[in-house]
């Protein structure tokens, strides 16, 4: 990489070579020959000083950034077993090298999981190991200079923290942990990503990622109520801030606003209405997503999650259910109990928290809902396992329930279901390409590339089985696919939520 | 006893001390560094018994690697198998009398060194052949393979071609183990073999070879998938 | 958490230090491990080859003898195992002393799938 200045590093506009073009859809995922530096020009906008400062980070790259970064690295090594162990034990066997969606599409070796992690390790070895201090470059120990920092900023924002590499690593090395730590270090020296920092600012100020104030939220819910009534003639309510409800539903704010997310919101509402369960949203907890995780900042993650706790104390619901969102479900399932638990006030008879898929499927299995599967006959459905749901969470009691329950639910509401290539689903699923804080338009090239493996698998079933609906359980997946589908020549409507299918098949008023 | 023996005995104590203390210091660091959150990789076991089973599969069979890349698995697994046989074989030098329970090793006696050496060559070649692994390989990665190859080769030589009397070797090693030094067999190949092993021991705790201890502390593999049932608590995470 | 960490550490410590711990348990520290002592034949003063040569090469000599006898039918008296036992009458007081010490199983004898009964074993004719 050429000489770089601090100013160049902090300038917002990434260099554009040409308009973003999608790889060709052939149905095959081939292991490419590496092309050094092929994706090095990609970088998201850096965050504005005032927004950085609001989160407690330096406004811009501090003068003694190198010293500060190394100090921060030392601090994180003491705080995270994962980071400390994963720094030491990689043997560079090569098992992960062909497993990352960003490598398979960009061919850039720094997008191989081990290539990415080595960007971190070479600094670790230089400043924290005797091996690196004595053997230097021979042991792959390198000074942390501005060029390397620029590589960090580029490549640690081409990782969606999807954990696919960890599945294939003989030691379970999780690049997500390393990229979170890298971002935490970059934030701490004033080099933050605009998209994530802005979103976190909105959550703290207003309460959700989209920055919808309570009035806007109320309007959005009313709008959906009107839509449903217009369509079905039945007054389905979407209650807000109801005290002592049975269920508090926490869902990504995109569900209130974006398309096709809102279709799932309709689905949730119909399920609650038909089951006759008293439920509510909360203005305080109007966001299930938690971008604190993406930047590996524990404090931010806890602060964002604490809004849920506040809502529980204010509204006193008996159950806590989480809507369709991948990383949110990870934070909810794996982290909430630690961050804001224990959930002593919630009914222990139900999982705390519970996923909306678990919730709806349970109702269907108990015969509480009347379903007309033929309503979805126009669709041949496939299911995309969201990375965070697949590899960081569970649904139901048994390991792997996170794969089985959504499929059961889809099959309970739709007649035509087709599975994609076994190498691309369940634990081996590919990320949509937009997770982990990459869902921002200036790195559209990264997002298009990241979607490639999934697109190939989808293309296959579209060609062979006429699939025309890919069911999703993640707000980021939904936004990402509706954005990249057109680039691949696939209609946007192919992407939709599971509860969109549920909503269509649910027969309202059939059982009182 | 001659000067060379004295030198090597001193060298051995230094090397073994560095290895044991260094290894344990690393392991202690891994053990005491907190895991603030449950980050187990799912689908995974929901109980401690399940975690043990998962770990046995990983450590005993390299399960993840098997599903990841059969070629690397083949090389890596056979290499470690050979290493295990070679190590077990060497137990006869550390314990008096040699453990009777390891008599079965006689069956593999003749091949162990080759089962170790051949995959090392294979893995070395693999690093060079695949463009992806060539890109990530450090000089030390080749260095460690080369060191292990030399150790295996000299070991095989002392056994088959430039023989060193096993009784003398045992007396020498037991002298070190029991802190009552005995003379070193003055065979060049044996001395070379011994020197290389001591260098390996010294380098071990500072290198990627610590995967031997580190794998047990990998949070994605050693945690149970039970965050909804059990609140995962570490001091700084609950405060912070 | 602390207990788990200490437990893991102790397991590694015990494994790594096991040779020293066993030596300690056997009371060998500073005294040295017992060396093998061979009972030499009373009726002979010289082996078929030099003692030093025999110590280093007896396995090769016997192997060679076996190949010759079994494959080619050439049997010599000098290097046959039977001849060994004319002087070294008790396997347990000669062969076994070193072999047990060094943990090397000779493959000559029936107990380990070999062809011969040792002079001291029960099935001896």
Touching B: C residues 74-93, CB under 8 Å: none
Task: Read off the pLDDT of residues A48-102 as tens digits, 9 standing for 90 and up.
Answer: 999 999 999 999 999 999 999 999 999 999 999 999 999 999 999 999 999 999 9
Do the Cβ atoms of C103 and B24 come within 8 Å?
A: no
Do the Cβ atoms of B92 and C13 come within 8 Å?
A: no
Beta strands in chain B (DSSP E): none
Residues in chain B with CB shorter than 8 Å from the CB of C36 are 167
Average pLDDT over residues C85-91: 87
CA–CA separation, A321 vs A314, rounded Å?
Answer: 16
Task: Read off the pLDDT of residues B174-220 as tens digits, 9 standing for 90 and up.
Answer: 999 999 999 999 999 999 999 999 999 999 999 999 999 999 999 99
Q: Please report whether residue B238 resides in a domain.
A: no
CA–CA separation, A433 vs A157, rounded Å?
Answer: 11
Grade residue A358 by pLDDT with cuts at 50, 70 and 90.
very high
Buried b vs exposed e over B54-73: b needs ≥16 C-beta within 10 Å?
bbeebbeebebbbebbeebb
Do the Cβ atoms of B23 and C16 come within 8 Å?
A: yes
Q: Is A320 helix (H, G, I), strand (E, B) or coil?
A: strand
Give the per-residue pLDDT at A21.
Answer: 85
C111, pLDDT greater than 80: no
Give the per-residue pLDDT at B105.
Answer: 81
Query: Residue B94 is nearest to which of C6, C19, C112, comparing CB atoms?
Result: C19
Grade residue B237 by pLDDT with cuts at 50, 70 and 90.
confident
Average pLDDT over residues C75-101: 88
CA distance A161 to chain B (A): 12
Q: Does A169 touch chain B (CB under 8 A)?
A: yes
Q: Please report whether residue B232 resides in a domain.
A: no
Residues 6+ positions from B44 with CB-CB distance below 8 Å: A399, B50, B51, B54, B221, B223, B224, B225
Do the Cβ atoms of A81 and B139 come within 8 Å?
A: no
Q: Using the Cα atoms of residue A142, residue A146, residue A147 and residue A150 in order, give the sign of their dihedral.
A: positive
Do the Cβ atoms of C103 and B94 come within 8 Å?
A: no
CA–CA separation, C121 vs A353, rounded Å?
Answer: 72
CA distance B104 to chain C (A): 9
Give me the helix-helix angle, A146-155 and A113-128, nearest 10°: 150
Give the per-residue pLDDT at C91.
Answer: 87
Average pLDDT over residues A399-423: 98
Residues in chain B with CB shorter than 8 Å from the CB of C22 are 94-95
Task: Read off the pLDDT of residues B112-158 as tens digits, 9 standing for 90 and up.
Answer: 999 999 999 999 999 999 999 999 999 999 999 999 999 999 999 99
Task: Read off the pLDDT of residues B61-109 as tens digits, 9 standing for 90 and up.
Answer: 999 999 999 999 999 999 999 999 999 999 999 998 888 888 788 778 8
Q: Please report whether residue B231 resides in a domain.
A: no
Any chains having at least 3 CB pairs less than 8 A from chain C are B
Average pLDDT over residues A355-381: 97
Give the per-residue pLDDT at A66.
Answer: 97
Give the per-residue pLDDT at A512.
Answer: 47
Instruction: Report the CATH number at residue B214.
Output: 1.20.950.20
Average pLDDT over residues C88-117: 85
Average pLDDT over residues B28-50: 96
In contact, A61 and B110? CB cutoff 8 Å: no
Residues 6+ positions from A454 with CB-CB distance below 8 Å: A101, A384, A424, A430, A431, A432, A433
Give the per-residue pLDDT at A477.
Answer: 98
CA distance B175 to chain A (A): 31
Average pLDDT over residues A135-160: 97
B1, pLDDT greater than 50: yes
Average pLDDT over residues A471-491: 97
Give A59-74 as a DSSP string.
SS--TTHHHHHHHHHH
Do the Cβ atoms of A394 and B29 come within 8 Å?
A: no
Touching A: B residues 144-203, CB under 8 Å: none
Residues in chain A with CB shorter than 8 Å from the CB of B239 are none
- ipTM here: 0.96
CA–CA separation, A250 vs A321, rounded Å?
Answer: 6
Give the per-residue pLDDT at C42.
Answer: 84
**Among A317-321, A338-342, B129-133, C38-42, which is the least confidently predicted range?**
C38-42
Structural domain tally of chain B? 1
Whether the bond between A260 and the residue before it is cis, its omega within 30 degrees of 0, is: yes
Whole-number mean pLDDT of chain A?
A: 95
Q: Please report whether residue B12 resides in a domain.
A: yes
Do the Cβ atoms of B210 and A177 come within 8 Å?
A: no
Average pLDDT over residues A23-42: 95
Do the Cβ atoms of B31 and C8 come within 8 Å?
A: yes
Q: Does C20 touch chain B (CB under 8 A)?
A: yes
Grade residue A426 by pLDDT with cuts at 50, 70 and 90.
very high
Grade residue B56 by pLDDT with cuts at 50, 70 and 90.
very high
More confident call, C87 vs A387: A387
CA–CA separation, A320 vs A311, rounded Å?
Answer: 10
Closest CA to B170 of B183, B154, B156: B183
Give the per-residue pLDDT at C1.
Answer: 66
A1, pLDDT greater than 50: no
Q: Does B67 touch chain A (CB under 8 A)?
A: yes
C69, pLDDT greater than 50: yes
Q: List the domain range (segments joined by +) for residue B159.
A: 3-31+41-224
Give B84-138 as a DSSP string.
HHHHHHHHHHHSSSPPGGGGGGHHHHTTHHHHHHHHHHHHHHHHHHSHHHHHH--
């Amino acid at each position: 990489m050429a000489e770089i200045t601090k100013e160049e590093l902090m300038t917002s506009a990434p260099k554009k070579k040409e308009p973003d073009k999608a790889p060709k859809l052939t149905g095959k995922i081939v292991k490419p020959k590496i092309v050094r530096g092929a994706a090095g020009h990609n970088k998201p906008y850096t965050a504005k000083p005032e927004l950085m400062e609001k989160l407690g980070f330096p406004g811009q790259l501090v003068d003694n950034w190198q010293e500060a970064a190394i100090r921060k690295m030392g601090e994180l090594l003491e705080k995270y077993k994962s980071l400390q162990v994963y720094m030491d034990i990689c043997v560079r066997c090569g098992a992960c090298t062909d497993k990352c969606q960003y490598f398979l599409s960009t061919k850039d070796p720094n997008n191989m999981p081990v290539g990415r992690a080595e960007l971190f390790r070479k600094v670790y070895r230089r400043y924290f190991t005797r091996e690196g201090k004595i053997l230097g470059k021979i042991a792959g120990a390198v000074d942390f200079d501005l060029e390397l920092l620029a590589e960090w900023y580029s490549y640690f924002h081409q990782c969606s923290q999807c954990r696919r590499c960890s599945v294939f690593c003989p030691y379970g090395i999780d690049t997500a942990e390393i990229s979170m730590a890298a971002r935490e270090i970059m934030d701490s020296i004033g080099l933050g990503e605009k998209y994530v920092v802005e979103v976190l600012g909105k959550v703290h100020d207003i309460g959700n990622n989209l920055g919808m104030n309570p009035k806007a939220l109320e309007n959005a819910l009313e709008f959906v109520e009107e839509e449903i009534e217009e369509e079905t003639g039945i007054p389905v309510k979407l209650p807000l801030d109801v005290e002592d409800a049975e269920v508090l539903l926490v869902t990504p704010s995109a569900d209130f606003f974006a398309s096709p997310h809102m279709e799932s919101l309709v689905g949730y509402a119909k399920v609650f209405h038909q089951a006759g369960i008293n439920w509510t949203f909360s203005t305080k907890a109007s966001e299930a997503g938690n971008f604190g995780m993406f930047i590996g900042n524990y404090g931010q993650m806890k602060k964002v999650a604490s809004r849920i706790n506040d809502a529980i104390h204010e509204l006193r619901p008996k159950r806590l259910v989480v809507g369709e969102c991948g990383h949110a479900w990870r934070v909810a399932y794996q982290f909430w109990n630690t961050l804001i638990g224990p959930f002593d006030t919630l009914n222990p008879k139900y999982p705390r928290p519970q996923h909306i898929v678990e919730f709806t499927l349970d109702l269907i299995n108990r015969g509480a809902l009347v379903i007309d599967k033929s309503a979805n006959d126009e669709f041949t459905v496939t299911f995309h396992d969201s990375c965070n749901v697949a590899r960081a969470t569970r649904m139901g009691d048994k390991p792997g329930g996170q794969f089985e329950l959504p499929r059961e639910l889809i099959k309970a509401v739709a007649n035509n279901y087709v599975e994609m290539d076994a190498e691309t689903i369940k634990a081996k699923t590919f990320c949509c390409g937009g997770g982990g804080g990459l869902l921002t338009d200036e790195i559209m090239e990264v997002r298009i590339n990241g979607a490639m493996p999934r697109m190939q698998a989808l293309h296959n079933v579209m060609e062979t089985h006429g699939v025309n609906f890919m069911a999703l359980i993640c707000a980021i997946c939904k936004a990402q696919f509706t954005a990249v589908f057109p680039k691949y020549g696939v209609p946007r409507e192919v992407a939709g939520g599971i509860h969109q299918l549920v909503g269509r098949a649910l027969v309202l008023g059939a059982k009182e | 006893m001659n000067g060379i023996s004295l030198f090597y005995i001193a060298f051995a104590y230094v090397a073994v001390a560095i290895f044991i203390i260094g290894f344990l210091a690393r392991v202690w660091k891994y053990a005491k560094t907190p895991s603030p959150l449950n980050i187990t990789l799912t689908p995974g076991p929901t109980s401690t018994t399940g975690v043990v089973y998962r770990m046995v599969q990983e450590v005993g069979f390299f399960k993840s690697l098997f599903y990841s890349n059969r070629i690397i698995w083949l090389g890596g697994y056979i290499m470690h198998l050979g290493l295990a046989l070679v190590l077990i074989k060497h137990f006869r030098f550390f314990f008096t009398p040699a453990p009777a329970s390891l008599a079965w090793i006689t069956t593999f006696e003749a091949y162990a060194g080759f089962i170790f050496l051949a995959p090392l060559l294979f893995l070395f070649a693999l690093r060079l052949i695949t463009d992806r692994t060539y890109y990530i390989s450090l000089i030390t990665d080749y260095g460690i393979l080369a060191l292990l190859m030399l150790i295996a080769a000299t070991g095989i030589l002392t056994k088959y071609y430039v023989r060193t009397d096993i009784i003398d070797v045992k007396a020498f090693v037991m002298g070190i183990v029991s802190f009552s030094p005995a003379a070193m067999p003055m065979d060049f190949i044996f001395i070379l073999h011994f020197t290389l092993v001591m260098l390996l021991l010294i380098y071990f705790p500072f290198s990627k070879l610590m995967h031997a201890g580190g794998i047990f502390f990998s949070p994605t593999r050693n945690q149970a998938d039970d965050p909804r049932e059990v609140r995962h608590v570490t001091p700084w995470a609950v405060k912070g | 958490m602390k207990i788990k960490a200490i437990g893991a550490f102790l397991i590694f410590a015990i494994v790594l230090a096991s040779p020293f711990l066993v030596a300690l348990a056997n009371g060998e520290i500073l005294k040295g491990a017992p060396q093998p002592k061979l009972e030499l034949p009373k009726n002979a003063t010289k082996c078929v080859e030099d003692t030093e040569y025999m110590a280093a090469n007896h396995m090769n000599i016997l192997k060679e003898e076996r190949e010759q006898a079994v494959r080619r039918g050439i049997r010599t008296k000098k290097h046959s195992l039977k001849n060994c036992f004319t002087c070294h009458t008790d396997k347990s007081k000669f062969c076994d002393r070193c072999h047990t010490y060094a943990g090397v199983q000779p493959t000559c004898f029936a107990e380990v799938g070999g062809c011969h009964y040792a002079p001291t074993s029960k099935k001896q004719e």
